[in-house]
Amino acid sequence: MGTITVGRENTAPIDLYYEDNGTGRPVVLLHGWPLDSRSWERQLPALVQAGHRVVTYDRRGSGRSSRPTGGHDFDTLAADLDTVLTTLDLQDAVLVGFSLGTGEVARYIGRYGTARLRGCVLIESLAPSFTRSPENPQGVDRAAVEGVQQAILADRYAWLTGLIGDFLNLDDYLGTRVSEETVRAMWQAGADASPLATWAGPLDWLDDFTKDITRIDVPTLIIHGTADRILSIDGQGRRLHAALPDAKYVEIEGGPHVLCVTHHAEVNRELLAFLAEGA
């Protein structure tokens, strides 16, 4: 529906494509990597019909936004989010982040606070950290990140096929909770993303949000699938809830990483209830 300029690279502006649908209290949806805002398709109608103004945008390097060389770190992505909120003058908003988008939510609150926010939702969260440690033995280290980056450089399209298989637990859900057509659409969204942004994404996995989340002082909903093969529920969802014990915490039984697709009915139920009651 429009673009918001967040910077320049050489002679070209860096524009973020956004859509602004519905009326009511604003809900801002932040997508995962390496997908784009179209991944929220199964949440958008439910939110609009429930009386919310829903803002989605494509992260730099994704979808219909500009594809700059740099700025794929969380500090810059949080600044991009701040520009979106201030340009649209969104107040009393709820930020909903999925996967990499949860890092943007956490870093935004860590740097800019919650003056514009009514609440936040963290679905399949990177926070408090995804780095391998005694507290998170299923996390990643720099060697693992470099391995993923090498696979992206070697054959990004083949790597993407395997990634989506693990995103959706296709060995369990293909033909039941997810169709071949949906898989193709997700693969195409990932293939359309900037190769540079896709390659840079894994570096963000090593960021730490421990200090950022201490600034969360608005109602918060945490949703995590019990069958997530990317961000384990023990290492991520349950650790985040331990760090934010006042948050509402929901586990979706059997939910894979992209449970907003496979388990959209369950996610929408919890999201709408939180917006109506908790936020």
Residue type, 55: V
Q: Residue 263: what pLDDT? A: 98
Domains of the chain: 2-278 (3.40.50.1820)
| Residues designated catalytic | 99, 228, 257
Q: Residue 278: is its pLDDT beyond 80? A: no
The share of the chain scoring above pLDDT 90, in percent, equals 98
**What average pLDDT does the segment 104-128 reach?**
98
Give whole-number Cα distances, 132 to 126, 154, 207, 235, in Å: 12, 25, 11, 9
Q: Residue 279: is its pLDDT beyond 70? A: no
Q: What is the mean pLDDT of the chain?
A: 97
Report the C-alpha dihedral over residues 14, 20, 92, 237, rounded to 10 degrees.
-80
The rounded distance, in Å, linking the Cα atoms of 14 and 130 is 29
Q: Residue 166: is its pLDDT beyond 70? A: yes
pLDDT, tens digit (0-9, with 9 covering 90-100), for 199-233: 999 999 999 999 999 999 999 999 999 999 999 99
pLDDT, tens digit (0-9, with 9 covering 90-100), for 52-110: 999 999 999 999 999 999 999 999 999 999 999 999 999 999 999 999 999 999 999 99
Q: Residue 12: is its pLDDT beyond 80? A: yes
In the beta sheet, which residues pair with residue 251? 224
Structure tokens at 201: 């994404």
In the beta sheet, which residues pair with residue 129? 208
Q: Helices 180-192 and 142-168 meet at what angle, rounded to 10?
A: 150
The rounded distance, in Å, linking the Cα atoms of 34 and 160 is 9
pLDDT, tens digit (0-9, with 9 covering 90-100), for 245-276: 999 999 999 999 999 999 999 999 999 999 99
Q: Residue 277: what pLDDT? A: 87
**What average pLDDT does the segment 131-154 reach?**
95
Q: Residue 135: what pLDDT? A: 87
Residue found by looking up tokens 């780095």 in the block: 131
Q: Which burial class, exposed, middle or buried, applies to 102 when counting CB atoms under 10 A from its CB (0-12, 13-18, 19+)?
A: buried
The rounded distance, in Å, linking the Cα atoms of 40 and 98 is 10
Q: Which band of pLDDT confidence, cut at 50, 70 and 90, is reported for residue 1?
A: confident
On whether the CB atoms of residues 128 and 209 are closer than 8 A, the answer is yes
- Which DSSP string do the residues of the chain spell out, in sequence order? -EEEEEEEETTEEEEEEEEEESSSSEEEEE--TT--GGGGTTTHHHHHHTT-EEEEEPPTTSTTS---SS--SHHHHHHHHHHHHHHTT--SEEEEEETHHHHHHHHHHHHH-STTEEEEEEES---SB-B-BTTBTTSB-HHHHHHHHHHHHHHHHHHHHHHHHHHHTHHHHBTTTB-HHHHHHHHHHHHHS-HHHHHHGGGGGG-B-HHHHTT--S-EEEEEETT-SSS-IIIIIHHHHHHSTTSEEEEETT--TTHHHHTHHHHHHHHHHIIIII-
